[in-house]
Amino acid sequence: MAEAQVIEIFSGVQGEGHLVGVRQVFVRLAGCNLDCDYCDTPGAHGWTEPAEIETSPGGMEFRRVPNPMRPEAVAAEVLALARGVPAHSVVWTGGEPLWSAGFLKATVPAIRAEGLAQFLETNGTLPEALAEVVDLFDILSVDVKTPSLSRGVRDYSACERFIELARRAGKPGALKLVFAASTTDEEVAIGARLAAAAGWPFVMQPVTPVAGGPGPASARRVLAAQARALAIHRDVRVIPQTQQGLGLR
Protein backbone atom coordinates (compact mmCIF):
# COMPACT_ATOMS: atom_id res chain seq x y z
CA MET A 1 0.00 0.00 0.00
CA ALA A 2 1.27 3.48 -0.89
CA GLU A 3 2.42 5.71 1.95
CA ALA A 4 3.48 9.35 2.02
CA GLN A 5 5.47 11.75 4.15
CA VAL A 6 2.82 14.19 5.38
CA ILE A 7 3.86 17.60 6.67
CA GLU A 8 0.48 18.72 8.02
CA ILE A 9 -3.31 18.34 7.84
CA PHE A 10 -5.53 21.17 9.05
CA SER A 11 -8.72 23.13 8.44
CA GLY A 12 -8.08 26.70 7.35
CA VAL A 13 -8.71 29.51 4.94
CA GLN A 14 -7.27 29.55 1.44
CA GLY A 15 -4.72 32.34 1.53
CA GLU A 16 -3.84 32.79 -2.12
CA GLY A 17 -5.03 32.44 -5.68
CA HIS A 18 -8.48 32.65 -7.19
CA LEU A 19 -10.27 30.99 -4.23
CA VAL A 20 -8.72 33.17 -1.53
CA GLY A 21 -10.95 33.28 1.55
CA VAL A 22 -12.81 29.96 1.24
CA ARG A 23 -12.67 27.35 4.01
CA GLN A 24 -10.75 24.21 3.08
CA VAL A 25 -9.05 21.17 4.60
CA PHE A 26 -5.35 21.22 3.70
CA VAL A 27 -3.19 18.14 3.21
CA ARG A 28 0.46 19.13 2.72
CA LEU A 29 2.69 16.38 1.34
CA ALA A 30 6.49 16.43 1.45
CA GLY A 31 8.64 16.04 -1.63
CA CYS A 32 9.13 18.25 -4.67
CA ASN A 33 10.87 18.02 -8.03
CA LEU A 34 11.87 21.71 -8.08
CA ASP A 35 13.77 24.20 -5.94
CA CYS A 36 12.21 27.68 -5.93
CA ASP A 37 13.90 30.76 -4.51
CA TYR A 38 10.70 31.91 -2.76
CA CYS A 39 9.65 28.54 -1.28
CA ASP A 40 7.98 29.10 2.11
CA THR A 41 7.34 25.44 3.01
CA PRO A 42 9.75 24.04 5.60
CA GLY A 43 10.40 20.40 4.81
CA ALA A 44 9.19 20.49 1.23
CA HIS A 45 12.36 18.50 0.51
CA GLY A 46 13.52 15.68 2.75
CA TRP A 47 10.84 15.85 5.45
CA THR A 48 11.58 13.34 8.23
CA GLU A 49 9.54 14.75 11.13
CA PRO A 50 6.14 13.44 12.28
CA ALA A 51 3.04 14.84 10.60
CA GLU A 52 1.26 17.68 12.39
CA ILE A 53 -2.49 16.99 12.56
CA GLU A 54 -4.94 19.62 13.77
CA THR A 55 -6.94 18.31 16.72
CA SER A 56 -10.09 20.32 15.95
CA PRO A 57 -10.95 22.36 12.84
CA GLY A 58 -9.56 25.87 13.19
CA GLY A 59 -8.36 25.27 16.73
CA MET A 60 -4.74 25.66 15.58
CA GLU A 61 -3.60 23.02 18.05
CA PHE A 62 -1.80 20.00 16.67
CA ARG A 63 -0.77 16.50 17.61
CA ARG A 64 2.16 14.70 16.03
CA VAL A 65 1.63 11.46 14.12
CA PRO A 66 4.47 9.23 12.90
CA ASN A 67 5.41 9.30 9.24
CA PRO A 68 4.95 7.90 6.69
CA MET A 69 1.15 7.84 6.82
CA ARG A 70 -1.10 5.32 5.12
CA PRO A 71 -4.01 6.34 2.86
CA GLU A 72 -6.75 5.23 5.25
CA ALA A 73 -5.19 7.21 8.11
CA VAL A 74 -4.98 10.40 6.06
CA ALA A 75 -8.54 9.96 4.77
CA ALA A 76 -9.83 9.56 8.34
CA GLU A 77 -8.09 12.73 9.51
CA VAL A 78 -9.39 14.76 6.56
CA LEU A 79 -12.97 13.57 7.00
CA ALA A 80 -12.92 14.30 10.73
CA LEU A 81 -11.90 17.90 10.11
CA ALA A 82 -14.36 18.36 7.25
CA ARG A 83 -17.23 17.07 9.39
CA GLY A 84 -16.35 19.49 12.16
CA VAL A 85 -16.58 22.62 9.95
CA PRO A 86 -18.06 22.48 6.43
CA ALA A 87 -15.30 22.80 3.85
CA HIS A 88 -15.47 24.08 0.30
CA SER A 89 -12.91 21.45 -0.73
CA VAL A 90 -9.87 19.43 0.26
CA VAL A 91 -6.58 20.96 -0.85
CA TRP A 92 -3.70 18.66 -1.82
CA THR A 93 -0.57 20.74 -1.71
CA GLY A 94 3.12 20.48 -0.95
CA GLY A 95 5.87 20.41 -1.83
CA GLU A 96 4.53 18.95 -5.04
CA PRO A 97 1.61 16.56 -4.42
CA LEU A 98 1.95 14.90 -7.82
CA TRP A 99 5.36 13.69 -6.65
CA SER A 100 3.17 11.26 -4.64
CA ALA A 101 0.71 10.34 -7.40
CA GLY A 102 0.44 6.71 -6.24
CA PHE A 103 -0.55 7.87 -2.77
CA LEU A 104 -3.17 10.21 -4.21
CA LYS A 105 -4.67 7.36 -6.23
CA ALA A 106 -4.96 5.31 -3.05
CA THR A 107 -6.28 8.10 -0.80
CA VAL A 108 -8.46 10.58 -2.68
CA PRO A 109 -11.32 8.27 -3.83
CA ALA A 110 -12.51 7.50 -0.29
CA ILE A 111 -12.61 11.21 0.57
CA ARG A 112 -14.25 12.18 -2.69
CA ALA A 113 -16.92 9.51 -2.11
CA GLU A 114 -18.09 11.59 0.88
CA GLY A 115 -19.01 14.43 -1.47
CA LEU A 116 -15.98 16.64 -0.82
CA ALA A 117 -14.56 18.49 -3.83
CA GLN A 118 -10.85 17.90 -4.43
CA PHE A 119 -8.49 20.81 -5.15
CA LEU A 120 -4.97 20.18 -6.48
CA GLU A 121 -2.21 22.77 -6.03
CA THR A 122 0.66 21.88 -8.34
CA ASN A 123 3.65 23.33 -10.14
CA GLY A 124 2.37 21.95 -13.44
CA THR A 125 5.61 20.25 -14.46
CA LEU A 126 4.51 16.60 -14.12
CA PRO A 127 1.93 16.00 -16.87
CA GLU A 128 2.44 12.23 -16.85
CA ALA A 129 1.58 12.10 -13.15
CA LEU A 130 -1.46 14.32 -13.72
CA ALA A 131 -2.70 11.88 -16.38
CA GLU A 132 -2.82 9.16 -13.70
CA VAL A 133 -5.03 11.14 -11.31
CA VAL A 134 -6.76 13.93 -13.24
CA ASP A 135 -10.19 12.33 -12.86
CA LEU A 136 -9.87 12.46 -9.06
CA PHE A 137 -9.71 16.26 -8.91
CA ASP A 138 -12.40 18.89 -9.40
CA ILE A 139 -10.29 22.07 -9.39
CA LEU A 140 -6.66 22.69 -10.40
CA SER A 141 -4.37 25.51 -9.36
CA VAL A 142 -1.17 25.57 -11.39
CA ASP A 143 1.69 27.62 -9.97
CA VAL A 144 3.67 28.13 -13.16
CA LYS A 145 7.39 28.17 -12.42
CA THR A 146 9.79 30.52 -14.18
CA PRO A 147 13.50 30.09 -14.93
CA SER A 148 14.30 33.33 -13.09
CA LEU A 149 13.00 31.97 -9.77
CA SER A 150 12.95 28.16 -10.00
CA ARG A 151 15.95 25.91 -10.42
CA GLY A 152 15.07 22.95 -12.61
CA VAL A 153 12.89 24.95 -15.02
CA ARG A 154 14.44 25.64 -18.42
CA ASP A 155 11.34 26.00 -20.58
CA TYR A 156 7.58 25.62 -20.44
CA SER A 157 7.07 22.47 -22.52
CA ALA A 158 6.01 20.32 -19.55
CA CYS A 159 3.60 23.00 -18.33
CA GLU A 160 2.13 23.33 -21.82
CA ARG A 161 1.43 19.58 -21.90
CA PHE A 162 0.01 19.80 -18.39
CA ILE A 163 -2.36 22.62 -19.33
CA GLU A 164 -3.49 20.83 -22.48
CA LEU A 165 -4.30 17.69 -20.49
CA ALA A 166 -6.29 19.73 -17.96
CA ARG A 167 -8.12 21.53 -20.78
CA ARG A 168 -9.07 18.26 -22.47
CA ALA A 169 -10.33 16.94 -19.15
CA GLY A 170 -12.50 20.06 -18.75
CA LYS A 171 -11.07 20.98 -15.35
CA PRO A 172 -11.76 24.45 -13.93
CA GLY A 173 -8.94 26.21 -12.18
CA ALA A 174 -6.44 29.03 -12.31
CA LEU A 175 -2.86 29.64 -13.29
CA LYS A 176 -0.71 31.54 -10.82
CA LEU A 177 2.69 33.19 -11.30
CA VAL A 178 4.78 34.49 -8.41
CA PHE A 179 5.97 37.95 -9.44
CA ALA A 180 9.27 39.32 -8.11
CA ALA A 181 11.64 42.11 -9.14
CA SER A 182 13.58 39.58 -11.23
CA THR A 183 10.52 38.26 -13.10
CA THR A 184 10.78 39.17 -16.76
CA ASP A 185 8.12 40.61 -19.03
CA GLU A 186 8.42 37.51 -21.23
CA GLU A 187 7.71 35.23 -18.25
CA VAL A 188 4.56 37.20 -17.50
CA ALA A 189 3.49 36.99 -21.14
CA ILE A 190 4.02 33.22 -21.19
CA GLY A 191 1.94 32.85 -18.04
CA ALA A 192 -0.87 34.89 -19.56
CA ARG A 193 -0.79 32.78 -22.73
CA LEU A 194 -0.90 29.52 -20.76
CA ALA A 195 -3.86 30.75 -18.70
CA ALA A 196 -5.66 31.87 -21.85
CA ALA A 197 -5.09 28.45 -23.42
CA ALA A 198 -6.67 26.79 -20.38
CA GLY A 199 -9.53 29.29 -20.20
CA TRP A 200 -8.56 30.07 -16.58
CA PRO A 201 -7.91 33.28 -14.66
CA PHE A 202 -4.27 34.36 -14.57
CA VAL A 203 -3.23 35.30 -11.03
CA MET A 204 -0.11 37.41 -10.56
CA GLN A 205 1.01 36.91 -6.97
CA PRO A 206 3.53 39.48 -5.71
CA VAL A 207 6.31 37.55 -4.02
CA THR A 208 6.18 37.26 -0.24
CA PRO A 209 9.72 37.97 1.01
CA VAL A 210 11.57 35.07 2.63
CA ALA A 211 15.07 35.06 4.07
CA GLY A 212 17.56 34.99 1.23
CA GLY A 213 14.77 35.06 -1.34
CA PRO A 214 14.02 37.38 -4.25
CA GLY A 215 13.01 40.97 -3.70
CA PRO A 216 9.52 42.25 -4.48
CA ALA A 217 8.71 44.30 -7.54
CA SER A 218 7.50 47.87 -7.14
CA ALA A 219 3.80 48.63 -7.31
CA ARG A 220 4.38 50.49 -10.58
CA ARG A 221 6.09 47.47 -12.12
CA VAL A 222 3.28 45.13 -10.98
CA LEU A 223 0.69 47.38 -12.60
CA ALA A 224 2.71 47.65 -15.79
CA ALA A 225 3.12 43.87 -15.97
CA GLN A 226 -0.59 43.36 -15.40
CA ALA A 227 -1.33 45.79 -18.23
CA ARG A 228 0.90 43.77 -20.58
CA ALA A 229 -0.77 40.53 -19.50
CA LEU A 230 -4.22 42.03 -20.08
CA ALA A 231 -3.25 42.62 -23.69
CA ILE A 232 -2.96 38.81 -23.98
CA HIS A 233 -5.67 37.52 -21.63
CA ARG A 234 -8.76 39.34 -20.35
CA ASP A 235 -8.81 37.81 -16.85
CA VAL A 236 -5.62 38.88 -15.04
CA ARG A 237 -5.78 39.36 -11.27
CA VAL A 238 -3.16 40.65 -8.82
CA ILE A 239 -3.69 38.75 -5.55
CA PRO A 240 -1.01 38.69 -2.83
CA GLN A 241 -0.72 35.96 -0.23
CA THR A 242 -2.99 36.74 2.72
CA GLN A 243 -2.29 33.94 5.20
CA GLN A 244 0.73 35.57 6.82
CA GLY A 245 -1.11 38.78 7.56
CA LEU A 246 -3.96 36.85 9.18
CA GLY A 247 -1.64 34.69 11.24
CA LEU A 248 -2.69 31.51 9.41
CA ARG A 249 -0.61 28.54 8.31
Q: Is residue 109 part of a domain?
A: yes
Greater confidence (226 vs 153) lies with 226
pLDDT score, position 209: 82
* Arithmetic mean of pLDDT over the chain: 94
Quick check: 1 pLDDT over 70?
no
Q: Count up the domains in the chain and report the number.
A: 1
- Cβ proximity of 21 and 14 under 8 Å: yes
CA dihedral 34, 36, 42, 44 (to 10 degrees): -10
Length of the chain: 249
Under the banding of pLDDT at 50, 70 and 90, the label for residue 46 is: confident
- Mean local confidence (pLDDT), 45-68: 93
Give every CB contact of residue 79 below 8 A, 6+ residues apart in sequence: 111, 114, 116
- List the CATH number of the domain containing 133: 3.20.20.70
Cα-Cα-Cα-Cα torsion 219, 220, 221, 222, nearest 10 degrees, comes to: 50
Asked, for residue 159, whether it belongs to a domain, the answer is yes
Answer yes or no: is 249 within a domain: no
Task: Give the separation between CA 185 and CA 191, rounded to whole angstroms.
Answer: 10
CA–CA gap between residue 219 and residue 154 (Å, rounded): 28
Which of 120-124, 181-185, 209-213 has the weakest average pLDDT? 209-213
pLDDT over 90 (residue 110): yes
Share of the chain above pLDDT 90, in %: 82
Whether this prediction's pTM lies above 0.85 is answered by yes
Domain holding 110, by residue range, is 6-244
Contact between 95 and 29 under an 8 Å Cβ cutoff? The reply is yes
How many Å apart are CA 163 and CA 179, to the nearest integer? 20
**Residue 208's pLDDT is what?**
87
1 occurs within a structural domain: no
**Inter-residue contact 114 to 50 (CB < 8 Å):** no
Q: Is the pLDDT of residue 42 over 70?
A: no
- Determine the pLDDT at residue 43: 64
Rounded distance between C-alpha atoms, residue 163 and residue 93, angstroms: 18
Which tens digit of pLDDT belongs to each residue from 162-194?
999 999 999 999 999 999 999 999 999 999 999
Answer yes or no: is 26 within a domain.
yes
Each residue of 68-80: pLDDT tens digit?
999 999 999 999 9
What whole-number distance in Å separates Cα of residue 142 and Cα of residue 120? 8
